[in-house]
Structure 1
Amino acid sequence: MEDNITTVLFDLDGTLVDTYELILTSFRHTFDHYVPGRFTKEDCISFIGPPLTETFASILPEKTEEMVQFYRNFNKQHHDTLIKPFAGVYDTVKTLHERGYKLAIVSTKMKDMVIKGLEATDLHPFFPVIIALDDVKYAKPDPEPIFKALELLRSDVQEAVMVGDSNHDILAAKNAGTRSVGVSWSIKGKDYLQRFSPDYMINHMGDLLKIVGVEANAKNDQV
C-alpha cells in the first residue's frame, strides 16, 4: 500500500474499457482493404498500444494518413456496439472519485474517441482531465502526456500512479518518474507486461484500491 498517492492516471483501451474486439476488428478491416491477406487477427495484437500513425507508417508509409482515417471511420461506426467496461472498473473509479483522488485519462487515442468511450461506459463524469493524442507532441512512452496530466491536476510525479495494459504505459510511467500498475487482463498477457517491471500488477481493478490506500473498499464488487 502507498499512503502518499493522491493521483491516479489511467490508460483507456484495454485498461478501463474492453475495446479489444473493436480494435482488432478495425485493424483487420483496414488491412484487408489495403494489404489483403497479410495480417491475421492474432497478428494485429502487436499493434495495440502505439499511435495509429506509427503502426500504419511501418506498413505503407505512403498511405499512412489514408489508412488512419479509414481505420477511424470504421472504428467510430462500430464503437458503441463493441465495447464494455472491464469487471470492477466503474465501482473502483467511482470510489476513487468519491474519496477525493485526482483522476485523469492518458491515452494514445484522439480525444473525441476517448470521450465517446467514457460516455458509453458512464465513466466520463469521473475524469476532469483527459490527455489524448491530439493534446501532445509526443505520445506514450514519452513522458509528455503524463507530465501534462499532472500539471492540469496540480500533482507531482511522486504522488501519482499510472495504470495501463501496455508496455507503453509502464515505460511512460518510468520515463516520467511515477509509479506504474500493470493490469493482468492485458491482451498481450501478464507475463509480457512483467518484462517491463511495473511497480504493481493487479488481477482485478478493485485491487487498485488497496495499492493507493483505500483499505476499506479494497474488496470491490465483482461486476
Structure 2
Amino acid sequence: MNNSLFFRGIAFDLDGTLVDSAPGLTSAVDKALYALELPAAGEDRVVTWIGNGADILIERALRWAINEKTASGAEPDPEQCRIMRKLFDGYYAQDADDGSFLFPGVIETLTALRLQDIALALVTNKPTPFVAPMLASLGLIDTFSLIIGGDDVEHKKPHPEPILRVMDALNLSPEDLLFVGDSRNDIQAAQAAGCRSAGLTYGYNYGESIALSQPDYIIDRLHELLPIVGLQLLEESGINQ
C-alpha cells in the first residue's frame, strides 16, 4: 500500500451516492399506491422520502397519499403499511434494474481506489435482497470487500452499527475509515462511529444541504474523493475534474 494514503478503507452509501435509484423507487412506490387506489406521488416527492429504508419510505408515501386523497390527517395503520410493503417489493423487483443508474465517475473512482489496495465497503439501508442484483446489473458486484444491507443489522443508519461492523470485519480503526454518503443519515452514522465522513452535494437528503450535517469533507462529484485520499491518485486515475 502506498504510504501516502490517508485511509485504509472507504465505505460508501448506495442510493443517492453511487446510484441514482430514484426512478426505480418512484415507479415501484407509485404502482403500489395505484394498486391501493391512492394518488401517485411522483419522483420529486419520492426523493424526499428516501434514506431510512423501505419500511419508512412506505410509511411516508402512505401518509402523504392518504392525506392527499382524504385531507383527514390520518396516519397509515400497520396493516396498510404491510400490504403496501408487499406490493412495493414485488414492483421494485421488476423495476429496480431499469430504474437505477450510476452517477458520473463512479466506476473510474472506485477503480482508482481499488488499484491502491484500499478496502472498499458498501453500507446501505436498502433491503438486502435488492442489493446484490442491483450491484450485478450495474457492474459493481465484485467491487466491495464487504456489503452490508438494511436487513443485515439490527439498527440502520443513522445508527453507527453498520459502520462499526465494517471496522470490525475489515480490521480498521475509526481513523482508518472514511464514510461517503449523500444524506444526514450517512454523516450522523459516521460521526457516531467516530470516523471521518465525506458528504456529496447531490443525492437524496430530504431537500436540505449536506453542509448542515457538518461532514469532514464536502464534495460535488465522487472523483473529488481522490485528492482527499491522496493527491497522487487524481493524477493516476485519468479522471478529468
TM-score over 0.5 for the alignment?
yes
Hey, what does 2:51 align to over in structure 1?
Answer: 49
Hey, what does 2:223 align to over in structure 1?
Answer: 206
User: Is 1:155 aligned to residue 172 of structure 2?
Assistant: yes
Hey, what does 1:174 align to over in structure 2?
Answer: 191
CA distance in structure 2 between the aligned counterparts of 1:167 and 1:33, rounded to whole angstroms: 32
CA pair 178-35 structure 1, distance change in 2 beyond 3 A: farther
CA distance in structure 1 between the aligned counterparts of 2:98 and 2:42, rounded to whole angstroms: 22
CA distance in structure 2 between the aligned counterparts of 1:35 and 1:7, rounded to whole angstroms: 47
Counterparts of residues 137-152 of structure 1 (less than 5 Å): 137-152=154-169
Q: Aligned pairs, how many?
A: 222
Answer yes or no: is the 8 Å Cα contact 1:142–1:175 preserved in 2.
yes
Hey, what does 1:114 align to over in structure 2?
Answer: 131
Hey, what does 1:33 align to over in structure 2?
Answer: 35
CA distance in structure 1 between the aligned counterparts of 2:138 and 2:42, rounded to whole angstroms: 29
CA distance in structure 1 between the aligned counterparts of 2:206 and 2:152, rounded to whole angstroms: 29
CA distance in structure 1 between the aligned counterparts of 2:194 and 2:238, rounded to whole angstroms: 28
CA pair 202-220 structure 1, distance change in 2 beyond 3 A: farther
Answer yes or no: is the 8 Å Cα contact 2:181–2:200 preserved in 1.
yes
CA distance in structure 1 between the aligned counterparts of 2:167 and 2:113, rounded to whole angstroms: 17
CA distance in structure 2 between the aligned counterparts of 1:210 and 1:163, rounded to whole angstroms: 14
Match for 1:80: what amino acid?
D
Instruction: Return 5+ residue gaps in structure 2 as ranges.
Output: 64-75
CA pair 175-126 structure 1, distance change in 2 beyond 3 A: same
Match for 1:49: what amino acid?
G
CA distance in structure 2 between the aligned counterparts of 1:7 and 1:102, rounded to whole angstroms: 4
CA distance in structure 2 between the aligned counterparts of 1:220 and 1:108, rounded to whole angstroms: 32
Q: Secondary structure at the match of 1:76?
A: helix
Answer yes or no: is the 8 Å Cα contact 2:48–2:206 preserved in 1.
no
Counterparts of residues 1-80 of structure 1 (less than 5 Å): 3-34=5-36, 36-37=38-39, 39-57=41-59, 59=63, 60=76, 61-80=78-97
CA pair 50-35 structure 1, distance change in 2 beyond 3 A: farther
Answer yes or no: is the 8 Å Cα contact 1:17–1:117 preserved in 2.
no
Instruction: Return 5+ residue gaps in structure 1 as ranges.
Output: none
Q: Alpha-carbon deviations, 1:109-165, whole Å to 9, x = none?
A: 122311112111111111120011111000000000111111111111111111111
Q: Report the Cα offset of residue 65 of structure 1.
A: 2.5
User: Is 1:192 aligned to residue 209 of structure 2?
Assistant: yes
Match for 1:213: what amino acid?
G
CA distance in structure 1 between the aligned counterparts of 2:207 and 2:221, rounded to whole angstroms: 12
CA distance in structure 2 between the aligned counterparts of 1:162 and 1:153, rounded to whole angstroms: 14
Q: Report the Cα offset of residue 40 of structure 1.
A: 4.5
Hey, what does 1:96 align to over in structure 2?
Answer: 113
Q: Which has the larger radius of gyration?
A: 2
Deviates more, 1:180-189 or 1:41-50: 180-189
Q: Secondary structure at the match of 1:135?
A: coil
CA distance in structure 2 between the aligned counterparts of 1:123 and 1:88, rounded to whole angstroms: 13
Q: Alpha-carbon deviations, 1:52-103, whole Å to 9, x = none?
A: 2233346322222322221121111012212121110001101111111011
Q: Alpha-carbon deviations, 1:9-38, whole Å to 9, x = none?
A: 001111111111112222222233336127
CA pair 150-35 structure 1, distance change in 2 beyond 3 A: farther
CA distance in structure 1 between the aligned counterparts of 2:239 and 2:40, rounded to whole angstroms: 42
Percentage of identical aligned residues? 28
Match for 1:221: what amino acid?
I
Q: Secondary structure at the match of 1:113?
A: helix
CA pair 113-134 structure 1, distance change in 2 beyond 3 A: same
